[in-house]
Amino acid sequence: MSRVNENFLKLPGSYLFSTIGKKVKEYQEANPDKRIIRLGIGDVTLPLPPAVITALHAATDEMSVQDTFRGYAPDLGYEFLRSAIAECDFRRRGVELSIDEIFVSDGAKSDSANIQELFSADARIAVCDPVYPVYVDSNVMAGRTGTYDIASGRWSNVIYMPCTAQNDFVPELPEQVPDVIYLCFPNNPTGAALTKEQLQRWVDYANEKKAVIIFDAAYEAYISREEVPHSIYECAGAKTCAIELRSFSKNAGFTGTRLAYTVVPKELVLDGVALNGLWARRHGTKFNGAPYIIQKAGEAVYSEEGQKQVAEMVGYYMNNAKVIYDGLKAAGYTVSGGVDSPYIWLKTPKDMGSWDFFDYLLSQANVVGTPGAGFGPSGEGYFRLTAFGSYENTVEAIERIGRLS
């Protein structure tokens, strides 16, 4: 008799953003006259940059002609895209990568969920708390997290690294030694960023302990401060201990178009085995390549016009971030993030619980955000707003919230 993978039964009933979506839908159905402003999920709202659209059209036309039609894409990605990535995202920042170290995929969410397959079933993972839920949930599904304690909101076999106001939302090196360390910087959800010096400490620690860092750099385009590195490979020694995840979603608006890549350096070796070869094997077995049309669109992001247009998009969202940050501060909120990140992290007023504040904001201001508690126990008492809305909606949402105080 077949049996289900019982690890799935340990998970909360639905994924954080599905729970929020359901609550908002119910509210809207009960209050059809209310105009809800959504600053919850970090989904972009601006259309794709013109350079990307032109590339999409051209690639679509190629697919209509016998001579230029393409079937399966190479498992690891087309060379034209991997070369553009190596040149623009790395070489220009002083990091040399061979294209064999770059694996193109259909999204950083899938990559961040799948990457745990490289590690042993008993690998001990460390995560920031609060954390992007995918890192933990994917390890729960793999049976790596132990049992869940409802009172603390923690899994027994996971090492939590609290990111709180006391440490400026920058995690301390853990006391217990992990095998795999998930770091997302600029951070989702707190919006905090690590300086190169701070990140170097993690790289040194991982090399010393023979741990692997999964560095999620999905928000690197939002970095504004000089001292914040865009890639972990800007730190000395990172190639022997770190995997980096990148996305086209947040910089170039590909949330609905799906394109990302993962860097697994050849120097990253565990138990005498290069992870690069394992990831290539996994990719080849489970993935048939991101579509040609989408990879051509990704290549266009690195063109001169593409880079200019992407910078304008990021600037637009960062202006929203400033509107949120300044507006909430003026309304008396304690706020952080929003400087190297599209996320603003605020303390809920009057020690309100995160989910209570969610309900309060939805019903009183018709504004949707994300409760900090949804990202982990240290997120309780906090709330996340995203800068990915339209400027007009962002201004209105902040005015509505301001009127509540």
Which residue lies nearest ligand MLT, judged by its C-beta?
A: 42
Give 97 or 163: the residue with its C-beta nearer to ligand MLT: 163
**Alpha helices, DSSP H, located in 215-303:** 249-252, 275-286, 292-301
The residue type of 148 is: Y
Give 23 or 196: the residue with its C-beta nearer to ligand MLT: 23
Give 111 or 299: the residue with its C-beta nearer to ligand MLT: 111
Contact 190, 336 (CB under 8 A): yes
Give 109 or 230: the residue with its C-beta nearer to ligand MLT: 109
Which residues 174-193 are close enough to bind ligand MLT by CB under 6 A? 188
Q: Which residues pair with 337 in a beta bridge?
A: 344
* Interaction of residue 109 with ligand MLT, rule CB under 6 A: yes
- Residues 219, 200: Cα–Cα separation, whole Å: 19
Contact 328, 346 (CB under 8 A): yes
Contact 280, 117 (CB under 8 A): no
Contact 355, 362 (CB under 8 A): no
- Residues 126-165, one symbol each (x = binds ligand MLT by CB under 6 A, - = not), give ------x---------------------------------
Give 107 or 171: the residue with its C-beta nearer to ligand MLT: 107
Q: How many residues interact with ligand MLT (rule CB under 6 A)? A: 6
Which residues 23-62 are close enough to bind ligand MLT by CB under 6 A? 41-43
Give 109 or 239: the residue with its C-beta nearer to ligand MLT: 109
* Interaction of residue 291 with ligand MLT, rule CB under 6 A: no
Q: How far is the CB of 358 from ligand MLT (least distance, A)?
A: 14
Helix count (H) and strand count (E) of the chain? Answer: 12, 17
Would the CA dihedral through 320, 337, 25, 359 be positive or negative? negative
Cα angle 229-327-128, degrees, rounded to a multiple of 5: 40
* List of residues contacting ligand MLT (CB under 6 A): 41-43, 109, 132, 188
